[in-house]
Structure 1
Amino acid sequence: MNQISLDLLDSSIEMVERSIHPGKPFKTQLLKWVGNKQKQAIDIIDFFPKNYGVYIEPFLGSGGVLGVLAPKKAIASDVFPPLFEIWETLHKDKEKLKNWYSDRYARIAVEGKIETYKSVLSSYNESPNGADFIFLLRTCYGGVVRFRKKDGYMSTPCGAHNPIPPESFSARVDAWFDRTQGAEFFLCDFEVTMDKAQPGDLIYCDPPYVDSQAILYGAQDFSLARLFKKIEECKMRGVFVALSIDGTKFSGDKLCSIDVPHGLFETEAFINVGRSMLKRFQMDGKSLESHVVTDRLLLTYNM
C-alpha cells in the first residue's frame, strides 16, 4: 500500500497487516469468474474470528471463499437463478451437473468451439438456465460475466482458451461437492440470508463493487446503502460481519471513494487481488502492469 493511499484512510479504523497462511490453498475453481476470491481466500480467512458459529455468504457468486474454507455448517445464497441452479444441482445431483457440461462440450468436435459457444449463448439468452450458464462460464472470455442493462442479454464473447475437458470438469465437481457438504443453498436477496444469522455467526459479504461498471453481473440493482444498514443490524445483535469492497486501483494510486458509515467497522485491511481482468478485457487482452488492484476488507470486530 503506497503512502497516498495510507494518507486517505480513516484514522478511526484500526489497520491490520494481513498474515501469510502456512497452509496450501484450494486452487481448483468450479466456475471461471472475474472477481473470484479463491486465490485471495486464505488471506481473507486469516481475518475471520478464531471462533464462530455458522458461516454465511449472502453474495455467493462463484463461491471462492466458501470452497477454500469448506465449513462444517454454512448458509450460502445468491439472487441470480441460473447461478443458484448450478449450486443446487451440485448439492443434489452432481452427475447431472457433469452431464450439462459434457453434453455441450461434445458439440465442439462437430460445430467448432466458437459456433458451439454462440449456439449455447443464444439458447441461454432465450431462456436463462444453469445448464447453459455453466458451459458459458467455462468458455467465455476470462469469466467476465457481463449483461446488457436494457434486456439482461449476456454479451461476453468466446474466450481464446480451450475449455477444460469433461474429465477435468468432473473431477472439479467431485472436489467441490465434498467441500460444500456442510452448506445449504438458497435463492434469495442478501437481506433474507443475513436475517438468518444468529449471535456468534459469521457473515462474509462480497457484493458488486461501487467502482465497477454496471455491465457486470449483479451490479445493476445493488444498493450499498441497504447493505450497510443490514450489516449494522447484524452487528448490533452480535453477528460478526466481514465485507470485501472497493480498495485501490492503478497499483495503489487511486483509493476508491466509499461513504462508509462512521463507527460501523472496527478494522480495515487491504488484500492484493492482482491485475484487473476487467481492464485487460477492456484493453483487448493487454496485461497492464499499472492496473494492480487491492480490495478493502472491513470488519465489524477487532482482531
Structure 2
Amino acid sequence: MKKLLFFVLITTSFTIGCTKQDAIKDKLTDASKQMNVAKPTTSYVPVDFTLLDIGALHNKHVITLLDNTQGLPQVDDIIANGRIFFTGIDFMPIESTNGGIFQRALITSNELAHVGYDFRNLPHPNVSANVKLYINNLLTALDNSNTFSEMLAAIDVIDNDAQTNLTDADLDIIKGTCIIARYSAALWSPVSEGGLGYYDKAMQFSPVMRGGGGPGRFVIGDVSASAQYFTGLGIAASLGLGVPGANAAILGGWAISAGLGSLCTLVGADTVPAPDQPEDIKYDPVKKTLVFEVTPYKLVF
C-alpha cells in the first residue's frame, strides 16, 4: 500500500465569509429554541475520544481501499475492506460480536443508500430530536460550502455550538461526527486547497461524477453514517461506556462505519447487501494494528 506521509494541515489562517458563518449561527439559534434542554445525567459515561483517533482511522480505512484498487472499487470490495478492519476490533467489552456490529453497520449503510446517503432524507433517523437538528444544520452548511476551508469553518461552528448547548450522548454524537467530518473534508478536498485530493483521484476513473456535488458530497455521506452509527448500536442508552475497552470498541466501529458511508457514496451504490444474520467474524489481535496504528494518517487542524 502506498504510504500516506505525515500530513499537517494548518487551518488557523483559513477563513470563511462572515455572512456564511452568521447564517449558520442564526440557524443554530433558531434550532436551539426548538431543543429539549437537557441536563447532564449522573449515569451517563462520556466517550473518551482520546483513546482512538476516529478521524485518522476513518481516513486510513478509506485510503487503504482506494490505494489498492485499480479504478473505482465495487460495493463488494468496500464490504470486504470493512470486514478486514472490523476483525481488528474487540467488541467483547460492549458484549457484542464483530459479526453483529458489522451487520448493523451494513444495515445502516443500506438504509442510507436508499436515501442518497443523506441523513436529511431518512424518514425516521435513529437519533434524538436535538441531534437531528444539529446534523441537519451541519449538512446544510456543508451543502453551502464551496471550499475545504469553508467546510472546516462550518464544522467548527456546529461543534462549538453543540459543546455549549448539548450534553451526554447527544454531545458525544456531534463531537465524534465533527471529528470525522473534518477528516473526511481533508480526504476529499483538492490538494490545492490543503486537502489530500482523493476526490480528484477518484474522478479520474469516473469523470461523469464530476457534476455530482464535489468533495462535500462524500463528507455528507460520512456525516450521515456517523450520526446513525452511535445510537444504532443502542450505545446512547448503555452504561457500558465505563467498562475498560468499551470506548475503543465503539470508536473503532464508529470510524469504519462512517467510512463505509463515503465509499458507498463514491461508487453511487443504491443498495448495500446487508446479511439477515451476523457473520461469523472473529476478532484477530494480529489485525489490531489496522485500527490502532493510525499515526501516518493523523492530521493537525
TM-score, length of structure 1 as denominator length: 0.28
Instruction: Kindly indicate whether structure 1 or structure 2 has the higher relative contact order, using CA contacts under 8 Å at least 6 residues apart.
Output: 2
Greater radius of gyration (CA)? 1
Of Structure 1 and Structure 2, which has the larger fraction of its residues in strand?
1
Q: Which TM-score applies when normalising by structure 2?
A: 0.28
